[in-house]
A = this chain, B = another copy of it.
Amino acid sequence: MARVYEMAEIQLKGEAPAGSQVEVDVMAEITGGGRTLKRKGFYAGNQTYKVRFLPDKAGIYHYKVTGIVTGEGTVEVEPADGKHHGIVRADGTHLRHQDGTFISTFGTTVYALAHQPEELTEETFASLEGGAFNKIRMCVFPKHYEYNKNEPAYHAFARAEDAEQLIFYDNLGGERSVQPFDTHRPDFDFWETFEAKLSRLFEMGIQVDLILFHPYDRWGHSHMTQEDNLRYLDYVLRRLAAYPNIWWSMANEYDLFYDWKIEQWHEIEAYISMNDPYRHLLSNHNCFLEYDYGREAVTHVSVQTRILSRVAELQKEFGKPVCYDECCYEGNLKETWGSISAKEMVNRFWKVTVTGGYCTHGEVILENDIVTKKQQDDAVLWWAKGGKLKGDSPARIKFLREIVESLPAPLDPYPTGLGKMALMSGEELSGMINALSEGQRGFFSVLGRMNEKEKLYHFLSEYTYAGHIGEEVYFYYLGTDCSARFCPEAAEGKSYRAEVINAWDMTREVVSEDYQMGDEIRLPGREYVAVLLCAQHSSISPDDSSERVTNG
């Protein structure tokens, strides 16, 4: 039995492949829901072949498998259960499931989740049940980094037996000599354990931004030949593409693959987009050098940056959803990327979220009693291994998520003040300035004369964080500004319910049932305040296709 928006699977028994256990000739023709599809199968070990597909319509599906195993049969697909909504795809700068429901993602990071023992993984899942997050960033391959030195129980592939040693510098500068991986021979134990985690995450309504390559490596997975890279992807796509909750992240910090040429990434990008029959979201995450999100196959921005004011800029440049997939982690490490306060983590989420972007959390809290090198290597930090969430930001992120999910549609950026001008071309700026009255023109013409560096400095540091949903909703986040009075813009002549929100204390107070543009709202004069204006008679009537997912 299968269900719409859930992975369906056909299993066949047959002899283990004689040669490659990846490039197996197994193809299913699947007819149902008014269409006929072709899907490649994969070898799952133990004389078992599987073909998976993801139905988006209910009904009886007939399949016929040909190749080194053959078979025929039917799968009955029941209607969706209402809990799952299908693959997430970009719709302009927003994200929607296959059934049309919008999703605003609230991400977290557990890079090495795939390689942690069961007990710890259960703790991680229990933490995720808390509901702050509906997206997780995790890697296929194990991770070698500070606080992450554990040897994985399994690798994705067996080691090649007769190959020359692979010699390379690991990411911490150590010289390594290993047997290369044999990408013709998946380690089925690994893949089964891995899939169990993917399925649990699916059940919890959590999107998986699956990191296919990363440079934090002492085992050689970042030093495979491109032929091996693509064969690995072949197996991933055959095996995992029917998971509805997967996004493809080509890499974490792709630019730290020092010896890779950019063309290698382009080839990987092309391979995935041509071989993924479901067009899952696809992007590539940077450390220093941002990937070109304008490329056709790239579906969204997946940026690492600490400049929180770039959602509108990136949306304008690329016309795609903007995910802040790394903006530092709540924690107490030596490193600047791992020592922002919970308040700052929450602050960053709000800035990105109210401007219509999607932010990702991480936590690196190292206990004080950890002293020795060994203790450090074995430490359990959420961002790599999961476990218990110790920080104070997740509760606040959940609070924000609930507010956003109560809105009738996704937010778009609402640039005002200098931020608005930052988005204008030179011509647009001159046009705006010339249209002003003589009394106002002087001031703005000075702004127009700033050089690029001055512009960047000013626009970065004087940005107003705001979003809107047409004229129905305006959402302002004041960040660390302590204004005690505020006159938010809204649509002229419309009446709004005005709410003052404290992002840190998690309080909401309706301060006016009839706020109109030009009115002044009194604020507490403290940090972390937001103002939400909702039109009193909303003209956006949610229909089936724009209904929000209010819980994963």
* Residues in chain A within 8 A of chain B (CB atoms): 169, 173-175, 255-256, 258-259, 287-290, 305-307, 331-337, 339-341, 344, 366, 368, 417, 437-443, 445-447, 449-450, 452-454, 456-458, 460-462, 464, 478, 480-487, 522, 525-527
Say yes or no: B256 contacts A446, CB within 8 Å.
yes
A449 with B307: in contact, given A339-B483, A464-B336 (CB under 8 Å)? no
Provide the residues of chain B in CB contact with A307, threshold 8 Å: 457, 460-461
In the complex, the answer to whether B462 meets A306 with C-beta atoms within 8 Å is yes
The quantity of this chain's copies bound in the complex is 2
Quick check: A258 and B440 within 8 Å, CB to CB?
no
**Nearest B residue to A520, CB-CB:** B334
CA distance A262 to B333 in the complex (A): 49
Q: Assess whether A289 is in contact with B454, with CB atoms less than 8 Å apart.
A: yes
| Chain B contacts for A522, CB-based, 8 A | 368
**Chain B proximity of A421: nearest CB distance (Å):** 11
Contact partner, A256, options B439, B442, B482, B526, Cβ 8 Å: B442
Q: How far is the CA of A368 from the CA of B480 in the complex (A)?
A: 19
Instruction: Name the contact of A482 in the complex, choosing from B340, B437, B460, B483 (C-beta under 8 A).
Output: B340
8 shortest interchain CB distances as A-B pairs:
A258-B442, A306-B461, A173-B439, A332-B484, A332-B525, A339-B481, A339-B483, A169-B439
A335 to B258 CA separation, bound complex (whole angstroms): 46
Is the CB–CB distance between A446 and B255 below 8 Å?
A: yes
Bound Cα distance from A545 to B332, whole angstroms: 43
With a CB–CB cut-off of 8 A, which chain B residues contact A441? 258
Given A288-B450, A288-B454, A454-B289, check contact A368 B258 (CB 8 Å).
no
Q: Is the CB of A443 within 8 A of B331?
A: no
Do residues B173 and A440 form an inter-chain contact, with CB atoms below 8 A? yes
Residues of chain B within 8 A (CB-CB) of A335 are 483
Report the bound CA distance from A487 to B289 in whole Å: 28
In the complex, what residue of chain B is closest to A287 when comparing beta carbons?
Answer: B446
User: Given A255-B446, A256-B446, A442-B259, do A482 and B339 touch, yes or no (CB 8 Å)?
Assistant: yes
A413 to nearest B CB, angstroms?
A: 17
* Complex contact B527–A341 (CB within 8 A): yes
With A and B bound together, what is the CA distance between A352 and B144 in angstroms? 37
Residue among A256, A336, A478, A480 with max Cβ neighbours from chain B (10 Å): A336
Whole-angstrom distance from the CB of A365 to the nearest CB of chain B? 9
Beyond the given pairs A173-B439, A173-B440, A306-B457, 19 more chain A to chain B contacts, judged by CB atoms under 8 angstroms and listed by A's residue number, are A174-B439, A175-B439, A255-B446, A259-B442, A288-B446, A288-B449, A288-B454, A289-B449, A306-B458, A307-B460, A334-B485, A334-B487, A337-B462, A339-B482, A339-B483, A341-B480, A341-B482, A341-B526, A368-B522
Q: How far is the CA of A448 from the CA of B416 in the complex (A)?
A: 34
What's the nearest-Cβ distance from chain B to residue A539, in Å? 30
Q: Is B485's CB under 8 angstroms from A333's CB?
A: yes
With both beta carbons as reference points, the residue of chain B lying nearest to A463 in the complex is identified as: B336
Tell me if B334 and A483 are in contact (CB < 8 A).
yes
A522 to B306, CA, bound (A): 26
Question: Would you give the shortest CB distance from A420 to chain B, in whole angstroms?
Answer: 14
Q: List residues of chain B with CB within 8 A of the CB of A445.
A: 258
CB closest chain-B residue, reference A371: B520
Chain B residue nearest to A526 (CB atoms) is: B341
B454 touches A453 (CB 8 A): no
Residues of B within 8 A of A255 (CB): 446
Q: B289 touching A482 by the CB < 8 A rule? A: no
Contacts of A454 in B (CB 8 A): 288-290
